[in-house]
Structure 1
Amino acid sequence: MSESLFKRSDFSTKILEILDHVEYRRVESSEDMEEVERLRYKAYKAHDVLALAPKGLLDDSDFDSHAYVFGLYYYGELVSTIRVHYVTPEHRLSQSGGAFPEAMDELLDAGLTLIDPARFAADPELTADMPWVPYLTLRPTIVAAAYFRADRVLQFVRPPHAAFYKRVFYADTVVPGRLAKNYGIDMTLMATNVIEVGRKLLTRYPFFISSASEQRMMFSRNPNDTLPPLTIIPTARFVPPGELGTDLPL
């Protein structure tokens, strides 16, 4: 997850170019969900964390009304997947809440709304030479923050990965690294205050920018809408230079 694999001045430009060959799919059909399950198995086995999946590779949370499962496709091939939870004081289901319930309740009792990503998995055979994959896999969390006007984007990660989220997402530590009993390993909980750093984040990493139409395609579940689109094209490339699309909360 290092920008050093690109020249720093070229980093965002290169990822914006890669967006021309990338698409997202919101996974809701049983066939696509099976493909996600296979990718999770492959990724978790390769990283020797298969036993840490506490509820199996698919669980009820994948089908929760506030959960959105995405596949990231590069030249039409699934390379990674992530599940995004929209967590509110009225709807508290989340991955982070299972490990750190007191910290999550404190945030939600304060009236905050949260974006909580879970089940990050990337194909180890396809992504070894693709250092941009973590950024674009996590991109829907920033799109979600803009769409839902959320207060925080959370990062529930292993402590060695904390520096990446602090550097890229300006994340603050909510819970320092400690044993997460339902995982059996040390985890830490971090949070990006998008109200404070949203503009800085989008300016530094313009590939996180999204249009209102892309946000709706990713996250709308309006009963008057048609079925979710098969393909969601990232819109960051289509926003005029110097503009931020639909901004994060400020």
Structure 2
Amino acid sequence: MDVARKSVSAGASARMDSALNQSMMQLLDHVEYRLITGGEDLEAIYRLRYNSYRRSGMCGPIAGGMFEDRWDNLPNSYRFGVYFDGHLVSTLRLHHLTREHPYSPSVDAYPEILAERLARGETFIDGTRFATDPDLAPAPGVLPFLTLRICMVAYCYFRQTAMFIPIKLEHSAFYARFFSAKQMTEGKSFPGVIPPLALFEISGNEENFHRILDRLPFFRSTPMEQRLMFGNPAINRLTPLSIVPTAKFFRAAA
């Protein structure tokens, strides 16, 4: 009986994944990623952060209605806006952490996890300041996938030891299911936000890397897309660099 239940459950999960992949591939035709370093687009993602965080109770009132912090302009920082049919729908910031550039909010918040490993030469991606505008979502539940695809492009480019994401514990099931994320800390104070966040690690080993991409092929990307996103932070560029998702071209480019 248990074997039968597991088989039915696995079949249902596979059908859900197939429907998700088909839907996401279609949605990506309308998506544009922008690597943002200045100008009006930068103000727009700061406003989106603030509005999203205020709505969810992540932060209190901020004069000017924009949420930015001292980690935004670091040389190892990448700020992205996700645009659907030309409208900003979400934003995410990544820091590429190395022994030479060990700077990010998670390093400050969880030194007991990150400091020693960075000193040993491990490398990480730190994903923070994830914010969405649900009123502009093209369909329920898709914005996390459209946005976190940026993390998988970073995986393909940097091949880092692991990715770290500080999140509310109520979101842990999503990251565990799709990324095999493991909880590394209890919820604790995190810079700039009100609720406690726990640090979750997504392993960068080849087995986990390929498992995620095989299960969710819309996370795939060509080397050209990877280079456009992460080849040069160009922190002083005023005009954002626009990048079109390349998942549907991956098979032809491989």
**In the alignment, is residue 91 of structure 1 matched against residue 101 of structure 2?**
yes
Matched residue, 2:172: 162
Matched residue, 2:24: 15
- Match of 2:57, SS state, is coil
Task: Report the TM-score, using the length of structure 1 for normalisation.
Answer: 0.85
Matched residue, 1:136: 146
Name stretches of at least 5 consecutive residues in structure 2 with no aligned partner. Answer: 1-11
- Match of 2:137, SS state, is coil
Instruction: Check the 8 A contact 1:142/1:153 in 2, yes or no.
Output: no
Matched residue, 2:215: 204
Matched residue, 2:201: 191
Change in Cα spacing, 1:228 to 1:210, as seen in structure 2 (3 Å) is farther
- Rg: which structure is higher? 2
Instruction: Check the 8 A contact 1:165/1:171 in 2, yes or no.
Output: yes
**In the alignment, is residue 237 of structure 1 matched against residue 248 of structure 2?**
yes
Residue 60 of structure 1 deviates from its aligned partner by 2.8
Task: Report the TM-score, using the length of structure 2 for normalisation.
Answer: 0.84
Instruction: Check the 8 A contact 1:100/1:180 in 2, yes or no.
Output: no
Partners of 1:113 and 1:33 lie apart in 2 by 27
Runs of 4+ deviating beyond 3 Å? 181-185, 226-230
Residue deviations 1:51-95 (CA, integer Å, cap 9, x gap) = 399xx7112311111000000000110000000110112211112
Matched residue, 1:111: 121
Q: CA RMSD in A?
A: 2.6
The number of equivalent residue pairs is: 235
Instruction: Check the 8 A contact 1:71/1:82 in 2, yes or no.
Output: yes
Change in Cα spacing, 1:181 to 1:152, as seen in structure 2 (3 Å) is closer
The one of the two structures with greater contact order (alpha-carbon pairs below 8 A, sep at least 6) is 2
Residue deviations 1:132-170 (CA, integer Å, cap 9, x gap) = 110111111111121112110111111111111111111
Change in Cα spacing, 1:157 to 1:52, as seen in structure 2 (3 Å) is farther
Change in Cα spacing, 1:222 to 1:86, as seen in structure 2 (3 Å) is closer
- Match of 1:63, SS state, is coil
Residue 184 of structure 1 deviates from its aligned partner by 5.0
Partners of 1:181 and 1:14 lie apart in 2 by 35
**Matched-pair identity in %:** 37
Instruction: Check the 8 A contact 2:59/2:194 in 1, yes or no.
Output: no
Instruction: Check the 8 A contact 1:26/1:228 in 2, yes or no.
Output: no
Match of 2:39 among 27, 30, 35: 30
Q: Which amino acid aligns with 2:115?
A: D
Bigger CA drift: 203-212 or 124-133? 124-133
Q: Which amino acid aligns with 1:216?
A: R
Change in Cα spacing, 1:131 to 1:222, as seen in structure 2 (3 Å) is closer
